[in-house]
Chain A
């Protein structure tokens, strides 16, 4: 029996049109990925404010992943292009501040890529688990 096995907290933002549907497809195909991943549905990846990501870390998330339609396939034509710029700059800044760059990720997952969704989540959870608890970013005040 394993005692006190470390389970990371993972927040996954998924756009409604591609990635959330991709996650649903992973479910329909019974493609398993760790239960630590919890999905928040947003209309488009461009709805995700960097503040949400920082908030997640502040409240104790160990990893945050953002999934959207592939560039060029955005339901709203250009939303994910803005996401790409915003997150490139934000992640670069987090890295600059010495925060492990593996804790944040952007992945483009289409509605047909159930397998990619599951594989991405498996890989991300594994990476974050290897990093261990997010000591650098969590807000102790908010931790019970």
Chain B
């Protein structure tokens, strides 16, 4: 039996004005378990708290009920008071007789009666309270960043600058991501490489950062502060620590017809390659699908020319296991495939290209050394048509495209149009758009310049069809403002393809038990207030894997994610919320209902031995709650048909006792 103390607060006249506090204290004296009942003008004041502390000691109280304002106001205060007097803080319950009683009821008799019921309800609950102790877990002071694009780079640099170790896992042979492929950046038109590559060098030289390039995360176990991650280091057949990046092998390799994915297949590379001049790490990689030596043992040229002896044809995939305290997903995006958009003739004509391909065509390090030339015949195009929203905002064609706005296309198309007109004033540039969306600092001014200074023809309307005719591309579209159909003979058509999360994000989310939306973007813990955290504790989101965003936004989000990681890693141990779910193994069926509704992936299953009849041992599958991950929503308790799952602090028995007390 509990020994409960009841403390009724007047809150000056806030409560005492419409609730007879003396009568309430008197009435609650007779409730089961109550051994002490008092009232005071301000329970939250120093003197009021002292009153509670004294009573706890004097009456050996095992639980207290404070009838006062909302628990959202002073529950923490009174828990601390109890703790200071040696009582477990979770043996405190609050009866809200201010916000939910005295402030809304004008009649003294009515208010007093309700206050007594509310007090009785809290007493009924505290009678069933049990002392709770928050769990503690240590924190591994190292972060993992998955993805080495600008988002991952910025997050890693910020974390490392705060003094914590960071590992970057990048599936490609070099970090840099999409930004490395971009020519210029809007709205300032500074060159992407000029601002990105110094950061890549910073990463390479940072003593706290380790890069696992050409690697993938294949397994994640554990929880916040204590993740065990397995990283697969794919065989690149070049010893990373020996290769000097001189590039001789990439010139001598006889296998010249390997599509260059860095230039989106618009030119070729060798079977041994360094993706681009500023690659980090600057190490060669052999493409096993094309290398003759690896395929049939005939060649070996690269090994012969390598003065550093870095080539190793026998290299195998390696698996590295590492511990981390925090994980940042920065897996980025890709343009969607244009296969399903045949109306734009992407597969029929080489001169219909995506915007990312256009970036490479305009880039001085690209396949045409920065000269705008048609991919089909290498001629200079005179009429260019840009088509916006290809696959974006496509609610009616969800099977082809995406329902959402890809956000960056309006601005980069304005950039492309402007750069084209700037470099080649002899061109005519048309842009077909649904809307032009330019919310951002200097964004609308930028777009207006494209129209007003550079004379880009913006046409509100969609393109219905692109058909190749001889050397030309006939673009049929509608001009909704002039209300007429247009037919433009174009030399080059550029499609602003929608962007989608990288394909690696979905399996990664499964490994991390991080949730995703229907479009495979990672979900935030809260869309407004916790935008860089995943609902799964210890997992953070950086960049376009959370939603389409441009560079400034990506970088600021990357920094925000880093600050959250730093906050986590700077703790020596994590203190949990003790009001978490708990499974009674004796009653658990192992049916997985709870696991399916848990938003945090806090529930796992284990085969455990139980005593069977006649000294036998039975093995049963039972649920186990990881208290460090559980946030205490209680969804699992209702999903559980057997009632094995319960929530500490809000146990079924406690809630039913409250129900009973109210209905008495």
Contacts and interface: CB of A to CB of B under 8 A. Distances in A.
B96 interface: yes
A42 B238 CA distance: 59
Interface stretch (A78-86, A102-110, A125-133): A78-86
Nearest to A25: B99
Nearest to B649: A43
Contact of B103 (A27, A43, A75, A144): A27
Contact of B637 (A16, A33, A40, A49): A49
B654 to A, nearest CB: 10
B599 interface: yes
B660 A38 contact: no
A144 to B, nearest CB: 8
B663 A59 contact: yes
B664 A59 contact: yes
B663 A43 contact: no
A119 B303 CA distance: 80
Contacts of B631: 76
Interface SS of chain B: helix
Nearest to A20: B72
Contacts of B579: 43
Contacts of B652: 49, 51-52
B70 interface: yes
Interface stretch (B110-118, B196-204, B543-551): B110-118
B248 to A, nearest CB: 54
Contact of A9 (B105, B526, B663): B663
B634 A47 contact: yes
B103 A76 contact: no
Given A48-B638, A49-B652, A59 B100 contact: no
Nearest to A49: B638
Interface centre among B106, B635, B660, B663 (most CB of A within 10 A): B663
A52 B72 contact: no
Nearest to B636: A46
Contacts of A59: 659-660, 663-664
B388 interface: no
Contact of B105 (A35, A38, A41, A47): A35
Given A59-B663, A76-B631, A86-B638, A26 B71 contact: no
* B interface bracket (residues with beta carbon within 8 Å of A): 35 or more
A2 interface: no
A27 B97 CA distance: 10
Contacts of B659: 11, 40, 52, 55-56, 59, 61
Contacts of B70: 20, 24, 27
B83 interface: no
Given A27-B99, A82-B597, A47 B637 contact: yes
Contacts of A35: 101, 105, 107, 110-111, 113-114
Contacts of A86: 638
B37 interface: no
A24 B99 contact: yes
28 contacts: A24-B70, A24-B73, A27-B70, A27-B99, A27-B101, A28-B99, A35-B113, A38-B118, A38-B121, A39-B96, A42-B634, A43-B632, A44-B634, A46-B633, A47-B634, A47-B637, A47-B650, A48-B638, A49-B652, A51-B656, A52-B652, A55-B656, A55-B659, A59-B660, A77-B599, A78-B599, A82-B635, A118-B104
Nearest first, the 6 A-B pairs at minimum CB distance are A27-B99, A47-B634, A76-B633, A59-B663, A46-B635, A27-B103
Interface of A: 9, 11, 16, 20-21, 23-24, 26-28, 30-33, 35, 38-44, 46-52, 55-56, 59-61, 75-79, 82, 86, 118, 144
